[in-house]
Chains A and B, each alone.
Chain A
Amino acid sequence: MAFVKVCSLDDVWEGDMESFEVGDKEILVAHLDGGDVVATQAICPHQQVELVEGELSKTTLTCKSHLWTFDLTTCKGINPGHAELARYPVKLDGEDVYVDPDGDTPKVAHS
């Protein structure tokens, strides 16, 4: 599967995020302050918790369950630092957001 249209920027306003099913994957699309659009895994690498139910503040995503935090500009963990999120390629065509769901695989962390 190559790039797939997932949503429009109108569905995910700046500072907001939403989760989508793309192919067999669940993908979180985050529209960061400043305009960057990031596509990452929808489920926290720690446990089966939806990241979209957490909090997005500037570029930092905080999972609601155990307060794991991630920097969405790099998709690396802020706390704990060893954590990381998948990062799917994103293409914008006008208002349309395209994501390649085969561009990465969801990460898993055990603690």
Chain B
Amino acid sequence: MTTPTEHLVSVDGSDVRFACAEGDTLLRAALRAGVGLGYECNSGSCGSCRYDLLAGEMHDRRPDAPGLSPRDRRKGRRLACQSEPRTDCLVKVGPIAPVATHRPVRQTAELRSITPLTHDMQEFVFAAEKHAGFRPGQYAMITLPDGNVERAYSMSNLGNCYGEWKFVVKRVPDGHATSILFDKLEVGASVELDGPYGHAYLRDKENQSIVCVGGGSGLGAMISIVLGAAALPGAGAWTVHLFCGGRTARDIHVPESLVRAGRRLGMLQVHTALSDVGETEDDTAYRGFLHEAVVERLAGSLTDFTYYAAGPPAMTDALMRALVLDSGLDADRLYFDRFC
């Protein structure tokens, strides 16, 4: 008997069927087939891709994934992003939407350059075989060669036909993946790149007054969104506030490309927030956390904007609470992908 290389997934209560390659996950196979299952982090943390397995055999990549609550486990719920079909199977999922962006593609990419941006932030440029199809603000899964570690990183450039994927990454103290990226990976090395993923992409038909809030490695996604708005034919009608944060001034990097973007946009204002109290030469910086900077700097007009955010879960969570609960922003006018 030969091992089949694909398994057929059927969605209960519908005519939807799609093939899942051996070793691929239920979620990714669905998205590759244009079946828009709900999800956010694609990493087992957010719990947005819960589903029920009705028939078939499924391998769980991460049985202890934080995205499932004890209640979910009691009810036998699973995460589509951590499930690898081992046989044909029947699943019960939430509402299915069309995949609104490019369908994710898995491909090999070669590291072309590394550029230090700050003491702990670098830009990594990869070249892949196929065109780089993604929307501003999306992310890709990168599997590093050493130790088979996979992480989600946001692209910091714009989609292009020459296969260039740029990432701004901040080193995580004692982080396994970033230590490989920063200390071991050399120009010419190959990684596996799978993307795009994510829903926090620039809505170019919506509100033209936007606020981008980027913390840590989330800065890259926000750069992409600012560049994306600036590349629109009607860029002159867009008002953009970009907030970036760090502990001290040496954590802050504002890329040169934003200066050019600012000339095309109706307005681009860059705000920095520094959370460490102490001496600084930058007296234009807000002293405090990013979400506090947003609330204070935009006081009086907070609800005029649509928000895009990326960064550590504590930051996006604090921002969501400040905007939605305390300031009355419409809950669906804040776009970010939850990683917790």
Q: Are A52 and B38 in contact (CB under 8 A)?
A: no
Query: Which residues of B lie under 8 Å from residue A47 when comparing CB positions?
Result: 38, 40, 48, 94
Whether B173 sits at the interface, judged by CB under 8 Å, is no
Within 8 A of A (CB), among B35-89: 38, 40, 46-51, 69, 71-72
Shortest CB-to-CB span from A46 to chain B, Å, is: 8
Q: Are B324 and A67 in contact (CB under 8 A)?
A: yes
Shortest CB-to-CB span from A30 to chain B, Å, is: 16
Q: Are B324 and A49 in contact (CB under 8 A)?
A: no
Chain B residues touching A, range = 20 to 34
Shortest CB-to-CB span from B34 to chain A, Å, is: 16
Q: Are B47 and A49 in contact (CB under 8 A)?
A: yes
Whether B263 sits at the interface, judged by CB under 8 Å, is no
Q: Are A65 and B48 in contact (CB under 8 A)?
A: yes
How long is the Cα–Cα vector from A49 to B95 in the complex, in angstroms?
Answer: 12
- Contact code string B328-340 (vs A, CB < 8 Å = 1, else 0): 1011101000100
Within 8 A of B (CB), among A23-52: 43, 47-50, 52
Q: Are A79 and B71 in contact (CB under 8 A)?
A: no
How long is the Cα–Cα vector from A65 to B338 in the complex, in angstroms?
Answer: 9
Given known contacts A48-B49, A49-B48, A111-B332, A43 and B320 CB-to-CB distance under 8 angstroms: no
Q: Are B324 and A79 in contact (CB under 8 A)?
A: yes
Whether A80 sits at the interface, judged by CB under 8 Å, is yes
What number of A residues sit within 8 Å (CB to CB) of B?
19
Given known contacts A66-B320, A67-B321, A50 and B71 CB-to-CB distance under 8 angstroms: yes
How many residue pairs, one in A and one in B, have C-beta atoms under 8 Å apart?
Answer: 51
How long is the Cα–Cα vector from A47 to B38 in the complex, in angstroms?
Answer: 7
Query: Which residues of B lie under 8 Å from residue A48 when comparing CB positions?
Result: 38, 47-51, 94
Query: Which residues of A lie under 8 Å from residue B71 when comparing CB positions?
Result: 19, 50, 52-53
Query: Which residues of B lie under 8 Å from residue A108 when comparing CB positions?
Result: 94-95
Q: Are A110 and B320 in contact (CB under 8 A)?
A: no
Whether A88 sits at the interface, judged by CB under 8 Å, is no
Q: Are B331 and A79 in contact (CB under 8 A)?
A: yes
Within 8 A of A (CB), among B292-332: 320-321, 324-325, 328, 330-332
Q: From A21, which residue of chain B is reached at the shortest CB distance?
A: B75
Shortest CB-to-CB span from B92 to chain A, Å, is: 10
How long is the Cα–Cα vector from A69 to B38 in the complex, in angstroms?
Answer: 20
Whether B97 sits at the interface, judged by CB under 8 Å, is yes
How long is the Cα–Cα vector from A79 to B338 in the complex, in angstroms?
Answer: 19
Q: From B332, which residue of chain A is reached at the shortest CB distance?
A: A111
Within 8 A of A (CB), among B199-257: none
Task: Identify which of A43, A66, A69, A80 gathers the most chain B CB atoms within 10 Å of its CB.
Answer: A66
Given known contacts A53-B69, A66-B320, A80 and B331 CB-to-CB distance under 8 angstroms: yes
Shortest CB-to-CB span from A18 to chain B, Å, is: 10
How long is the Cα–Cα vector from A53 to B47 in the complex, in angstroms?
Answer: 12
- Contact code string A59-88 (vs B, CB < 8 Å = 1, else 0): 000000111110000000001110000000
- Contact code string A95-111 (vs B, CB < 8 Å = 1, else 0): 00000000000001011
10 A-B contacts (beta carbon < 8 Å)? A47-B48, A48-B49, A48-B50, A48-B51, A50-B69, A53-B69, A65-B46, A66-B324, A66-B331, A110-B95
